[in-house]
Chains A and B, each alone.
Chain A
Amino acid sequence: MRLSLNRMRHAARSAALLLAVAALALAPWPATLAQSDAASAKPTAAPAVQTTPPAARSVAPAAQLIPDNALLVVGLRDGYRAVDDFRGGDLFKRILASDAYKSLEKQSEYMKAKGGLMMFAGAAGLDPWAAVQQVAGRDLLLALLPPPKEGNHDKPDVLIVLTPQDAAATRSLLNSILVMSGAIVDGEPVEARSRLVDGVRGYSISDDLYVAEFDEHMVFANRAKLLEGVIRERRSGEKKLATNEHFTRAARDLPREALLWAFADVRQFKSMTGDAFNKKLDNGLAGLLFGGAVEAFRSADYASAWLRTEADGVVLDGRAFGEGGGAEWLKTFAVNSEESRDWSKLDLPGLMSQVALARDWVGIWEARESIIDADGLRGLTEFANTLTTLMGGMDFHSQFLTELKPTLRFLAARQKLAEGAAPTPELPGFALVMHLKNAQQVAPRLENAALMTMSIINVDMGQKMQPQFQLTPRDYHGARMLVGKYPEKTDPGPRGIRYNFEPAISVFGDRFVICTSEKMLENLIDAVEKLPAAAGKAGELASDTLHVDLGELSRLLDANREVFIANQMLEQDFSRERATARVGMLLEAARMLGQLSMRVGPVSDGLNFSLRIGLAR
């Protein structure tokens, strides 16, 4: 008994977690980035993307110094002014005034870092902010290059090109670094640490940091030979990033106001990492849900991304594109949106997050062996078999998946729990919404599945001498619901776990909803009734969207403050005071955030991605 139940719980939990952290999994990849096609209708919930293309050269003046076999290039534009704007801006004031910052100031790590910075800046006669500005400069570029073939190198080469805003001040900063590291003594370059190459003087700051200044740039490299090559080739325009057609193409997409941008040569990454890049996913469910996106990325050749700031937030856009285009995978990943209602307008009390995935379920299932490895497939088969049995023999693949419309929704909302003991930790309510083609036909089977699941749970509870659910059907505003409730007189138990969980399911319209709380399901039924019609055009390719109300989330975290503090005390051996300060700091930082929304969607030649984080008003 216990085994199958655990597996189901595990599967459900995996699914929930995967959906909820989809953004976090994707965000750090510098190259999983997308741009929505200028031609497509603007998605209402996701940020708009600028498409004014500036000239390639002004994207990165230093691009003509970087060799064109760069794996990854990251650039900061107009950093000098950005730092100034930030210092003068509202956000900065809010941060300084916040309690979170005040307690950050007391943390020893912060003090060490600050001390280091002041020492560094002071040596150059600058105050710390000015030093940061000089480093940001007018343009700052970092490039990762493949390791050189000769010698025993396994780490990539690093090249940094800084185009200063204020050349004199930056030069003085560089000078103080050179003095501190002993490359310059008494105003003269030390012979062992400096060399003249083609009229340009290069210095070695340390064993793995070399620098030279020429034209209007300061160039840092991790290897002497690398720097030498850049110096010698500085006039030549051949085989440089600036002339790389894919780079110029990506640069065309880059909006003028982008602060930070990145470009990655995915193809080279692939050839360097080989098998690891193409390893199949080992989790069946993850493969099913995200396999298409992963494959689209893997078959891309290049990727680019850029970050812009807006008055009340930041926007990160990106795309992966390529000649081959991942066309194969688009078939299984991309479907036409069949939305009839505009769910971005969902007015559900306490709504914290909403994830929508649109897939060709049958297509992906049939292609699963090429996405998922043997272990994952085993897990997936078990999952499918379990569901088939629970649904009274309705075959998972040929009868259930074929019934599903493309969009699957997962919602989390704060729930009001029954009177009496408040549970700790307080969890949100969850709901899974599926759209069915023939809802009325399939509904009885699904209800049956829910009944069987609940009765299995009940047997498990019975063995543990805990109270069991009573299943009650009822009608709510025309929709039929099945709710599992504990009997009235039940002892809430040591931590009121039962109050976190009151399974409820319903089939209404074309929707099949599984929810963890009766009240939330009622609210959802009402809210869905009020949804306006969908805004997008028919035939449009559907994207995946994620929307999180960070404010609501932070309120939930706040309600669980004691739990976090206790955890910090135990897991980090902090005193209560320190744990409280730390948790308070994190919660306050969370409170400053407002909304997060993300969209991932296919286009004809790749994958687009957009992420927006807004600050709380």
Chain B
Amino acid sequence: MTLNRRDFMLRSGASLAAGLTLPRVLVRTAAALGQSDPRERILVLLQLSGGNDGLNTVVPYRDDAYYRLRPTLAIKPDTALKLDDHVGLHPQLDGLRRLYDDGWLSVVQGVGYPNPNRSHFESMDIWHSADPTLEHRETGWLGRVLEREKAMQALHLADEPLPLALRAEGVDVPSVHTIDSFRLNADDGGAARRAIFTLLDRPDENCESHAGHAGTPPGGSGSEADFVRRTAAAACANARRLEALPPDASGSYPQFGLARRLHEIARLIAADFGPRIYYTSLGGFDTHARQNTVHPNLMAEIGQSVHAFYADLKARGVADRVLLVTFSEFGRRAAENASLGTDHGIAAPLFAAGPGVRGGVIGPSPNLSALVDGDVPHAIDFRAVYAAILERWLKVSARAVLGAGFRPVEIL
């Protein structure tokens, strides 16, 4: 079993001196003490691209100003899924509502940063690099985590290129569309595939032993050739392990793209594939016009997919190891515009889901009678959310990653 994680580590090539991987038995013992071992904890980050309309996601159904400012778009009070006396969820977020009722959802309101930036490109960079001044845009907060924790791995599962959040010096996160990218395809009827496995696969060996393997690499300097050899072995190991995954029957997921990706993540988690940070995204939130034809579908996609995800994880017995957090680069303006949509705003709520969260609604509910320049101002700095994730979930120094201290938000 430890072989899984170690093999997967190889692909970054960052260092062979493997991090401290505890023997499995110790890991289990810690788990038996009733708390999921930090080394087993997994973070799933769900990026909502385009600027999710927070006011229609976590709805201030009691606020008259809300209905005045959004005559067409406002969610009617009787359809909102009430969480408390101030806010309720969008009617399509029933899946999240059920998680909330089980205590598996924290709703953090008013998350943003000072000197708001309304450019998609720049605001997303701010969230990714955790630097509102935009002076240090070369690395992302998760990238920096991976840089410090050499043993920790991540996987990016989406159609877009690798986000800044996962980038750092010497850090290499694989970015795939589906886990099928880890499969070895050889459609020629077998001979090539067999030969390639014969050549590359090292099923029983420990990685270090490759350095002195028999046979002289033709003219190559030992280190480059060996590096490639080791990585190829890891690639084959992944392919082999993926094929060994039992055909997946558990979990009935809805027919959404996000659901498919979360399903794959659930499979990988259950199979101990290696990564502890999974990053995926959902786009289409930039609803400048006719928001009601688009936003409800996105809410449905999130609500149903995340609920199915946790139902699946629970069935596989790994739910308590997984924390899922959503975020978006900004919210949207309080008033609807002339095209029945909304324009770029600033602060917005985000969700943290999983058995490990405290549950409940945190942060001040939006007060639309006290807008600042047409927007709900931010109340919680997003880096406080990151601090909570880093300190309390991943057990990594938040100060080192964020560059400054932030009091963690009480979600965990």
Interface residues of A (CB under 8 A from B): 1-4, 7, 375, 378, 382, 385-386, 389, 456, 459
Min Cβ gap A436→B in Å is 26
Min Cβ gap B311→A in Å is 21
Residues in B whose Cβ lies below 8 Å from that of A375: 255
A389 pairs with B288, CB closer than 8 A: no
Does B35 have its Cβ within 8 Å of any Cβ on chain A? no
Question: How far does the alpha carbon of A385 sit from the alpha carbon of B288 in the complex, in Å?
Answer: 17
Q: In the complex, what residue of chain A is closest to B339 when comparing beta carbons?
A: A1
Residues in B whose Cβ lies below 8 Å from that of A378: 297
Q: A1-B341, A389-B290 are in contact. List 9 more A-B contacts (CB 8 A).
A: A1-B288, A2-B288, A2-B289, A3-B284, A3-B287, A3-B288, A3-B290, A3-B294, A378-B297
Question: How far does the alpha carbon of A3 sit from the alpha carbon of B295 in the complex, in Å?
Answer: 11
The 0/1 profile, CB within 8 Å of A marked 1, for residues 270-308 of chain B is 000000000000001011111001100100000000000
Min Cβ gap A207→B in Å is 18
Residues in A whose Cβ lies below 8 Å from that of B289: 1-4, 456
Total residue contacts A-B, CB cutoff 8 A: 30
Question: How far does the alpha carbon of A416 sit from the alpha carbon of B234 in the complex, in Å?
Answer: 62
Residues in B whose Cβ lies below 8 Å from that of A385: 293
Interface residues of B (CB under 8 A from A): 255, 284, 286-290, 293-294, 297, 339-341
Q: Assuming the A-B contacts A1-B339, A1-B341, are A386 and B290 also in contact, with contact meaning beta carbons closer than 8 angstroms in the complex?
A: yes
Min Cβ gap A5→B in Å is 8
Min Cβ gap A530→B in Å is 42
In order of increasing CB-CB distance, the 5 nearest A-B pairs are A1-B289, A4-B290, A1-B288, A382-B293, A4-B289
Residues in A whose Cβ lies below 8 Å from that of B286: 2-3
The 14 sampled A-B contact pairs (Cβ below 8 Å) are: A1-B288, A1-B341, A2-B288, A3-B288, A3-B289, A3-B294, A4-B289, A4-B290, A378-B297, A386-B290, A386-B293, A389-B290, A456-B339, A459-B339
Min Cβ gap A294→B in Å is 22
Residue from A2, A3, A385, A459 with most neighbouring chain B CB atoms (10 Å) = A3
Question: How far does the alpha carbon of A2 sit from the alpha carbon of B288 in the complex, in Å?
Answer: 8
Question: How far does the alpha carbon of A281 sit from the alpha carbon of B16 in the complex, in Å?
Answer: 54
Q: Is the interface of A mostly helix, strand, loop or mixed?
A: helix
Min Cβ gap A511→B in Å is 29
Q: In the complex, what residue of chain B is closest to A381 when comparing beta carbons?
A: B293
Q: In the complex, what residue of chain A is closest to B255 when comparing beta carbons?
A: A375
Question: How far does the alpha carbon of A375 sit from the alpha carbon of B287 in the complex, in Å?
Answer: 21
Q: In the complex, what residue of chain B is closest to A7 when comparing beta carbons?
A: B293
Q: Is the interface of B mostly helix, strand, loop or mixed?
A: loop
Residues in A whose Cβ lies below 8 Å from that of B287: 3
Q: In the complex, what residue of chain B is closest to A383 when comparing beta carbons?
A: B293
Min Cβ gap B208→A in Å is 44
Residue from B284, B293, B297, B339 with most neighbouring chain A CB atoms (10 Å) = B293
Question: How far does the alpha carbon of A382 sit from the alpha carbon of B289 in the complex, in Å?
Answer: 13
Q: In the complex, what residue of chain A is closest to B292 when comparing beta carbons?
A: A385
Q: In the complex, what residue of chain A is closest to B288 when comparing beta carbons?
A: A1
Residue from A4, A7, A459 with most neighbouring chain B CB atoms (10 Å) = A4
Question: How far does the alpha carbon of A7 sit from the alpha carbon of B289 in the complex, in Å?
Answer: 12
Min Cβ gap A186→B in Å is 36
Min Cβ gap B291→A in Å is 9
Residues in B whose Cβ lies below 8 Å from that of A2: 286, 288-289
Residues in A whose Cβ lies below 8 Å from that of B284: 3
Question: How far does the alpha carbon of A3 sit from the alpha carbon of B297 in the complex, in Å?
Answer: 13
Min Cβ gap B285→A in Å is 10
Question: How far does the alpha carbon of A7 sit from the alpha carbon of B294 in the complex, in Å?
Answer: 11
Question: How far does the alpha carbon of A385 sit from the alpha carbon of B284 in the complex, in Å?
Answer: 19
Min Cβ gap A283→B in Å is 16
Residues in B whose Cβ lies below 8 Å from that of A386: 290, 293
Residue from B255, B289, B297 with most neighbouring chain A CB atoms (10 Å) = B289
Min Cβ gap B233→A in Å is 34
Residues in B whose Cβ lies below 8 Å from that of A7: 293
Q: In the complex, what residue of chain A is closest to B289 when comparing beta carbons?
A: A1
Min Cβ gap B51→A in Å is 13
Min Cβ gap B181→A in Å is 24
Question: How far does the alpha carbon of A4 sit from the alpha carbon of B287 in the complex, in Å?
Answer: 10
Min Cβ gap B283→A in Å is 11
Min Cβ gap B299→A in Å is 14
Question: How far does the alpha carbon of A375 sit from the alpha carbon of B341 in the complex, in Å?
Answer: 24
Residues in A whose Cβ lies below 8 Å from that of B290: 3-4, 386, 389
Min Cβ gap B61→A in Å is 24
Residues in A whose Cβ lies below 8 Å from that of B255: 375
Question: How far does the alpha carbon of A375 sit from the alpha carbon of B254 in the complex, in Å?
Answer: 12
Question: How far does the alpha carbon of A375 sit from the alpha carbon of B256 in the complex, in Å?
Answer: 11
Question: How far does the alpha carbon of A7 sit from the alpha carbon of B284 in the complex, in Å?
Answer: 13
Residue from A1, A2, A375, A385 with most neighbouring chain B CB atoms (10 Å) = A1
Q: In the complex, what residue of chain A is closest to B341 when comparing beta carbons?
A: A1
Min Cβ gap B150→A in Å is 43
Q: In the complex, what residue of chain A is closest to B293 when comparing beta carbons?
A: A382
Residues in A whose Cβ lies below 8 Å from that of B288: 1-3
Min Cβ gap A173→B in Å is 34
Min Cβ gap B204→A in Å is 37
Min Cβ gap A279→B in Å is 15
Min Cβ gap A168→B in Å is 43
Residues in A whose Cβ lies below 8 Å from that of B339: 1, 456, 459
Min Cβ gap A377→B in Å is 13
Question: How far does the alpha carbon of A581 sit from the alpha carbon of B287 in the complex, in Å?
Answer: 49
Q: In the complex, what residue of chain B is closest to A375 when comparing beta carbons?
A: B255
Residues in B whose Cβ lies below 8 Å from that of A1: 288-289, 339, 341
Min Cβ gap A387→B in Å is 12
Min Cβ gap A527→B in Å is 37
Min Cβ gap B294→A in Å is 6
Residues in A whose Cβ lies below 8 Å from that of B341: 1
Residues in A whose Cβ lies below 8 Å from that of B297: 378
Question: How far does the alpha carbon of A4 sit from the alpha carbon of B293 in the complex, in Å?
Answer: 9
Question: How far does the alpha carbon of A359 sit from the alpha carbon of B352 in the complex, in Å?
Answer: 52
Question: How far does the alpha carbon of A4 sit from the alpha carbon of B291 in the complex, in Å?
Answer: 9
Residues in B whose Cβ lies below 8 Å from that of A4: 289-290, 293
Question: How far does the alpha carbon of A4 sit from the alpha carbon of B284 in the complex, in Å?
Answer: 12
Residues in A whose Cβ lies below 8 Å from that of B340: 389
Question: How far does the alpha carbon of A385 sit from the alpha carbon of B297 in the complex, in Å?
Answer: 15
Question: How far does the alpha carbon of A456 sit from the alpha carbon of B289 in the complex, in Å?
Answer: 10
Min Cβ gap A454→B in Å is 14
Min Cβ gap A375→B in Å is 8
Min Cβ gap A401→B in Å is 20
Question: How far does the alpha carbon of A3 sit from the alpha carbon of B287 in the complex, in Å?
Answer: 8
Question: How far does the alpha carbon of A23 sit from the alpha carbon of B297 in the complex, in Å?
Answer: 35
Question: How far does the alpha carbon of A387 sit from the alpha carbon of B286 in the complex, in Å?
Answer: 21
Question: How far does the alpha carbon of A1 sit from the alpha carbon of B255 in the complex, in Å?
Answer: 26
Residues in B whose Cβ lies below 8 Å from that of A459: 339
Question: How far does the alpha carbon of A2 sit from the alpha carbon of B285 in the complex, in Å?
Answer: 12
Q: In the complex, what residue of chain A is closest to B294 when comparing beta carbons?
A: A3
Question: How far does the alpha carbon of A2 sit from the alpha carbon of B287 in the complex, in Å?
Answer: 9
Min Cβ gap A91→B in Å is 41
Question: How far does the alpha carbon of A456 sit from the alpha carbon of B339 in the complex, in Å?
Answer: 9
Residues in A whose Cβ lies below 8 Å from that of B294: 3
Q: In the complex, what residue of chain A is closest to B287 when comparing beta carbons?
A: A3
Question: How far does the alpha carbon of A576 sit from the alpha carbon of B293 in the complex, in Å?
Answer: 47
Question: How far does the alpha carbon of A386 sit from the alpha carbon of B255 in the complex, in Å?
Answer: 24
Min Cβ gap A457→B in Å is 12
Q: In the complex, what residue of chain A is closest to B340 when comparing beta carbons?
A: A389
Q: In the complex, what residue of chain B is closest to A3 when comparing beta carbons?
A: B294
Q: In the complex, what residue of chain B is closest to A4 when comparing beta carbons?
A: B290
Question: How far does the alpha carbon of A375 sit from the alpha carbon of B297 in the complex, in Å?
Answer: 12
Residues in B whose Cβ lies below 8 Å from that of A389: 290, 340
Question: How far does the alpha carbon of A459 sit from the alpha carbon of B290 in the complex, in Å?
Answer: 14
Min Cβ gap A58→B in Å is 48
Min Cβ gap B342→A in Å is 12
Question: How far does the alpha carbon of A378 sit from the alpha carbon of B339 in the complex, in Å?
Answer: 21
Question: How far does the alpha carbon of A2 sit from the alpha carbon of B339 in the complex, in Å?
Answer: 11
Question: How far does the alpha carbon of A121 sit from the alpha carbon of B372 in the complex, in Å?
Answer: 88
Question: How far does the alpha carbon of A528 sit from the alpha carbon of B289 in the complex, in Å?
Answer: 38
Q: In the complex, what residue of chain A is closest to B50 when comparing beta carbons?
A: A3
Question: How far does the alpha carbon of A302 sit from the alpha carbon of B321 in the complex, in Å?
Answer: 59
Question: How far does the alpha carbon of A599 sit from the alpha carbon of B404 in the complex, in Å?
Answer: 74
